[in-house]
Amino acid sequence: MNSDPVAVQFESVTKCFSRLQALNNVSFEVKQGSFFGLLGPNGAGKSTLINAMSSLVVPDSGQIHVMGHDVQKNYRQARRALGLVPQELISDPFFSIRDLLIVQSGYFGLRGRAQLAWIDELLVRLALADKADALTAQLSGGMKRRVLIAMALVHKPAVLVLDEPTAGVDVDLRRTLWAFARELHTAGHTIILTTHYLEEAEALCDKVAIMQKGEIKALEKTQDLLARHPYRYLRVTLPETGSFNPQDLSPELAIRLAEREANALLFKIEKSLAMEQVLAWLQQDGLNIQDLTSRDASLEEVFLDLTGAQL
C-alpha cells in the first residue's frame, strides 16, 4: 500500500448535464509529487473532472479535496493549492501579458518585489519576456498557451493541472512544454495532465487513469498498465504487400493480423502464446520475410483495447 500523501482526492464525484452523465461516481486519488495522466476519448469527462477540481464545475454529489482542502467548503485554500491551464486559448484583450500576470497575482493576494521577480522569471522561462508588454490579442496560439501556463503558476501552486497543453502546438513548442513540465515536476509540483497524445502520457506520466463515459476504466502506474496488457506486437517486413491477400494466411495468423502497411504486416499476439509457434505459422505460410520486430503494446494500443474508441 502506498502511503505517500495525497495531492488530489476524488470521492464518488457525479455530474450530469441535462441527460448526459458526464461523471459517474468517480473515485481515485493522485499522490503528491506524481506526474499523473488523465486520458480518454472526447466526451469522456476529463475536462469536467478537471473543472470540478478548480470549481468551475459544481458536482451534483461527491467531494474533491486538493491538498486536503475541500474545493467547495475550503475553496480559498483549495484554489491556492491549484493552478489550472485550461484547454481553450482564452485571453483578456484589454491587458498586456505582464499586467495580466500582475492582476492574477493580486487575486491570490500576492504583490511586492518578490512577486514581480517571480513574474519576470516566468516570462523568461516561458520565452515571453520580449512580448511582456504586448496585448494578448496580438499573440500567436503557442504564445497564448504559454501565457496561460504562466498565469496558472503565478501563485506557485502545489498541484498544476494541464488540460491538453500541447493541443495544436508545433513540435518545437511541444518539446519545450514537455521539458518545462518535467522541470516543474522535478521541482516538486504534482502534475495532472490530460492529453490526446498518448506518447506524451507514456513519456511523462508515472501513473495514468483512463476515462470513458464519465467512468474510470483503468487506473495504474503507466509501466504496470503496459506490462499487464495481454498482447505484444510482431511486425513482419515483406518486399511489398500490394499483391498480398490476407486470405492466403493460415487462420491462426489471419485472426491475429492487426494492420497491413505498405511493406509490412502487424500481428497482435497473445503474450501467453510461444513465439516459436508464431514463427512456425509464418514459415508454414511461406512468406518472404525480410525482417521481424517484436514490441510491447503502446499506451495508445492499450487505450484502444480498453475503450474501443479513438482519441
Partner 1 sequence: MNWYGCWAFFKKEIARFYSVSVQTVFAPVVSTLLFLLIFGQVLDTRLDAFSGLSYSQFLIPGLVMMALLQNAFSNSSSSIIQSKMYGNLSFVLVSPISPLELYIAFVGAAIVRGLAVGMGVLLVGWVGFDLQWYSVGWVLLFAVLSAALMGGVGLIAGIVSEKYDHLAAFQNFFIMPLTFLSGVFYSIQSLPPFWQTLSMFNPFFYMVDGFRYGFYAQSDVSVYLSLFITLVFLVSVTVINLILLVKGVKIRH
Binding stretches for partner 1 (CB under 8 A) = 17, 51, 54-58, 75-77, 79-80, 82, 84, 86, 88, 90-95, 99-100, 103-109, 111, 151
Which residues contact residue 175 at a Cβ distance below 8 angstroms, ignoring those fewer than 6 apart?
Answer: none
Query: Residue 91 or residue 195: which is nearer to partner 1 going by CB?
Result: 91
Q: Indicate the length of the chain as a whole number.
A: 311
Q: How far is the CB of 102 from partner 1 (least distance, A)?
A: 8
Q: How far is the CB of 115 from partner 1 (least distance, A)?
A: 11
Beta-strand relationship, 264-270 and 257-260: antiparallel
Taking a C-beta distance cutoff of 8 angstroms, is the pair 259, 292 a contact?
no
Query: Residue 111 or residue 271: which is nearer to partner 1 going by CB?
Result: 111
Q: How far is the CB of 284 from partner 1 (least distance, A)?
A: 59
- Name the CA radius of gyration of the chain, rounded: 23
Query: Residue 60 or residue 248: which is nearer to partner 1 going by CB?
Result: 60
Query: Residue 82 or residue 236: which is nearer to partner 1 going by CB?
Result: 82
Query: Residue 95 or residue 180: which is nearer to partner 1 going by CB?
Result: 95
What does the DSSP assignment read for 146-190? HHHHHHHHTT--SEEEEESTTTT--HHHHHHHHHHHHHHHHTT-E
Taking a C-beta distance cutoff of 8 angstroms, is the pair 54, 161 a contact?
yes
Q: How many CA atoms lie within 13 A of 37 on its CB side?
A: 26
Strand pairing partners for 216?
211
Q: How far is the CB of 132 from partner 1 (least distance, A)?
A: 17
Q: How far is the CB of 249 from partner 1 (least distance, A)?
A: 52
